[in-house]
Amino acid sequence: MGFRLAENEKDRYLSELLQSYHVFAPVAKAGKGAFSDTDVVGYGEIESFGDIVLDRKSHFSPKEVFYPVRETLFQFLKDEVLETTIDEKPLVVLVRPCDLNGVRRLDTIFLKNGQEVDTYYERRRKKVKFLMVECTEGFDTCFCVSMGSNVATDYDGALRFEEGSLLLDIKDPALATEILRDRPEADFQVEYIRENKVKVDAPPLEAVTKDLFDHDLWTEYTSRCIACGRCNTSCITCSCFTMQDVQVNDEKNLGERRRVWASCHIDGYSDMAGGHNFRKKHGEKMRFKTMHKVNDYHRRFGEHMCVGCGRCDDVCPEYISFSKCINKLNQIAKEVAQ
Ligand code: SF4
Ligand code: SF4
């Protein structure tokens, strides 16, 4: 159902939402930028629509809201194990279409990848509703259209900020607050970006052969990538984590188990029992990530894992472009096939 709210009604809708939900959106985090006295755009709780930053892409994706960077799973106290609880109040998260598609990729990994679901992810994820922000322009590094992620229709609500008003398309009645009741419906169809400046062609699955894995392409990244992991932490679809047992006394019987985001680019990620490591070079790690994003996941689940948000290109301190890497891989696949 479509609704139109006047400028002076927008924050009343938000304050009604806040009675039942925490509301998260991209906001400027003062002083948190890479350089001194600079901001970074990441997800935070809002109290007014004026808090939201939409003219810059968020460096961090919305996954940090319901898949925390560091999460205590349980605490152990002598012979007792105490499972942690979470805030029961549900969340509304404002996302762009690419990120909503990215959330579906995370859902697949955590909830539909085998017989067991990840209960720690599930308990948080069940509390989240998504208000999708219409996105028709994108940013310089976006390539969502190439990845088929520019359109998302499985939102709980969608919104368009217009000069002097807010248009809403509400699918989940729980997001239709008091101010929307008995209000005449407005005609609002969400529009989507249809062309990005960056265009990417991933190689077709049948063209991804051993030749591509062995190709010299990856040596470039051995010399350029510094294995900082920023591309992974900013990615909406990266889901890897590591476990940490943290003890707080000398007897090792008091402490907690945490899971913490991990990165396939960072040294130590590929360490195995016996001291083995089969991906030591940074180029090999880049190959692993690339193939995971546009090949392995695709073979298993029928679509690219990468949604083309372009954040990895935005944050890489070595100016490594993932979109260019995919295009190079495709070009090599064509040459190998000739
Ligand atoms: S790999 Fe890069 S472009 Fe693709 S979803 Fe992750 S951050 Fe976005
Ligand atoms: S952000 Fe760039 S330098 Fe850092 S790990 Fe990723 S590709 Fe390598």
| Residue 34 pLDDT greater than 80, yes or no | no
pLDDT number for residue 55: 94
Q: Quick one: which ligand is closest to 102's CA?
A: 1
143 Cα to the center of ligand 2, angstroms: 19
Give residue 338's pLDDT band: very low, low, confident or very high (50, 70, 90): confident
- How confident is the model over 200-205, as a mean pLDDT? 97
- 23 with 45: CB under 8 angstroms? yes
How confident is the model over 255-297, as pLDDT tens digits? 999 999 999 999 999 999 999 998 999 999 999 999 999 999 9
pLDDT number for residue 79: 87
| Residue 192 pLDDT greater than 80, yes or no | yes
Q: How far apart are CA 301 and CA 288, in angstroms?
A: 17
237 Cα to the center of ligand 1, angstroms: 7
129 Cα to the center of ligand 1, angstroms: 22
pLDDT number for residue 168: 97
Nearest Cα neighbor of 147 from 298, 264, 313 is 298
- 118 with 155: CB under 8 angstroms? no
Buried b / exposed e over 84-96, threshold 16 CB at 10 Å, is eeeeeeebbbbbb
- How confident is the model over 11-39, as a mean pLDDT? 91
pLDDT number for residue 35: 79
How confident is the model over 94-141, as pLDDT tens digits? 999 999 999 999 999 999 999 999 999 999 999 999 999 999 999 999
| Residue 319 pLDDT greater than 90, yes or no | yes
CB neighbourhood size of 338 (10 A): 4
> Which tokens sit at 223?
């010399």
| Residue 88 pLDDT greater than 90, yes or no | yes
Q: Is 266 in the pocket of ligand 2 (CB under 6 A)?
A: no
Which atom number of ligand 1 is nearest to the Cα of residue 310?
3
* Nearest alpha carbon, ligand 1 atom 7: 235
Q: How far apart are CA 139 and CA 137, in angstroms?
A: 7
* Nearest alpha carbon, ligand 1 atom 8: 309
Residues 6+ away with beta carbon under 8 Å from 233: 60, 69, 261, 263
Average pLDDT, the chain: 95
Most informative mutation of 263, 306, 320, 325 for ligand 1 (most atoms within 8 A of CB): 306
3-class SS string, the chain: CEEEEEHHHHHHHHHHHHCCCEEEEEEEECCCCCCCCCCEEEEEECCCHHHCCCCCCCCCCCHHHHCCCEEEEEEEECCEEEECCCCCCCEEEEECHHHHHHHHHHHHHHHCCCCCCCHHHHHHHCCEEEEEECECCCCCCCCCCCCCCCCCCCCCEEEEEECCEEEEEECCHHHCCHHHCCCCCCCCCCCECCCCCCCCCCCCHHHCCHHHHHCCHHHHHHHHCCCCCHHHHCCCCCCCEEEEEEECCCCCCEEEEEEEECCCCCCCCCECHHHCECCCCHHHHHHHHHHHHHHHHHHHHCCCCCCCCCHHHHHCCCCCCHHHHHHHHHHHHHHHHC
60 Cα to the center of ligand 2, angstroms: 15
pLDDT number for residue 248: 83
113 Cα to the center of ligand 2, angstroms: 27
pLDDT number for residue 156: 98
246 Cα to the center of ligand 2, angstroms: 28
* Nearest alpha carbon, ligand 1 atom 4: 306
The percentage of residues in the chain with a pLDDT greater than 90, rounded to a whole number, is 90
pLDDT number for residue 31: 81
Which atom number of ligand 2 is nearest to the Cα of residue 229?
5
193 Cα to the center of ligand 2, angstroms: 28
How confident is the model over 126-180, as pLDDT tens digits? 999 999 999 999 999 999 999 999 999 999 999 999 988 999 999 999 999 999 9
- 286 with 218: CB under 8 angstroms? yes
Q: Quick one: which ligand is closest to 305's CA?
A: 1
Residues near ligand 1 (Cβ within 6 A) = 102, 234-237, 293, 306-312, 322
Q: Quick one: which ligand is closest to 103's CA?
A: 1
pLDDT number for residue 211: 95
- How confident is the model over 41-48, as a mean pLDDT? 96
